[in-house]
Every structure is written in C-alpha cells, then in structure tokens.
Amino acid sequence: MLVSSRWSKLKKDFYDLDTNKYNISKIPEIYDTIRYDYRKNGLIFNQIDAEVKENLYWLAKLLAYFVVFNEYGITDEERIKVGTEICLPLLDKILVDLMFWKENTSDEYYWNYKNSMEADNWRHIRTRLYFTSASHMYSMLNILTLGNYRALLKKTPAEYAKRISNIIYMGYLSHIELRLYENLTL
C-alpha cells in the first residue's frame, strides 16, 4: 500500500496532465525510488519481466546521472556561481570551525570551558558533523573541485583527483569528509 501510494505521488509529480509537461527535477527521485524498491521490495519487481526490469533501472540511472550532473550548472563558471549561492553560509561555518584551531580565538562559536576545573585547549570538540541536503553537497563538491582554478585537484594525488572528478551521482548516506591535520612539533 505504501509503495503504491509513493509511486502514485511520484507519477503525479513527474508528469503534469494539465500542462502536458514533465518535471525533470523528479528524475533523481525516480531513480532513487527504483533503486530502493529494486533492493528492498523485490516482490514488486518479480512481477516484471527481467529484461524490462533491467532496462527500466538502467534508463532511470542514465537519466538521473545526466540530470544530476547538470542540475547545478553546465559550465564550470555556472557550477561555481550556483554552488556559491547555495552553500556559502555552510562553507563560511566550516571555515570558521577550521580557522578556530589556527587562531584559537573564536570563543563565540564554541563551548567555553574556562570555568571548568578540567579546562584546557584539548577539551574542545574536534569533530564537526554538518547535516545538509544533496543540493548543498553537489554545490560544495563543485566549489571545492572547480573553484580557485581547480587548485584543490592540482594539489591532490592523481589517483584521488581522478576519483573526485568522476563523481557524478551521490546516493543516500553520501558524505564529504574534510580533515585538518595539526603539526604538533611546531
């Protein structure tokens, strides 16, 4: 029942009978739903011919990869502009968090343990988790990889730079990890 209502809503959202137009922004959601049902609700797909099932899956995947890859701009300049507009506040927050360790003066953003008997610099929280939407993740990826004349990719070992450049689609539980290393000998 739930699966049927989910697909009915998706069908209604994807194609507007009044305007006779498709909403291509729903293609990634269709692909995600097909993937999920293909893996978790196999009984639904067991009623469909195997060849039709495979064609449906690969067509949805192809369309989703095309739409998602171009959804946040077609040229590098467009992707950077759109990415900046979407996730600048998030990037500013991440920068403040990273700079805190360099300058150690941003008490306004962090717990202040000065009144604690166990207070010292090592009590500050070192892990930051930012929960955000897929649009922010794609935008951030575009800014990090394309911004500053691709400086990040130029400084990254070739094998990893190629992997980063080949990211087209991020599914559920995708994440971007940023690490800051300290040189404790300085």
In DSSP notation, 145-183 reads HHHHHHHHHHHS-HHHHHHHHT-----TT----------
* Segment 107-153, tens digit of pLDDT: 544 444 444 444 455 555 567 778 888 888 888 888 888 888 788 78
* Segment 152-176, tens digit of pLDDT: 788 888 888 888 888 888 877 788 8
Q: Where are the domains of the chain?
A: 2-70, 76-165
Lowest mean pLDDT among 15-19, 94-98, 112-116: 112-116
10-35: average pLDDT: 91
Displacement of CA 146 from its chain's centroid (Å) = 15
- Please write down the HEC assignment for all residues of 56-95: HHHHHHHHHHHHHHHCCCCCHHHHHHHHHHHHHHHHHHHH
CA distance linking residue 26 with residue 10, whole number of Å: 8
104 φ/ψ angles, rounded to the nearest 5 degrees: 55, 40
- pTM (2 decimals)? 0.64
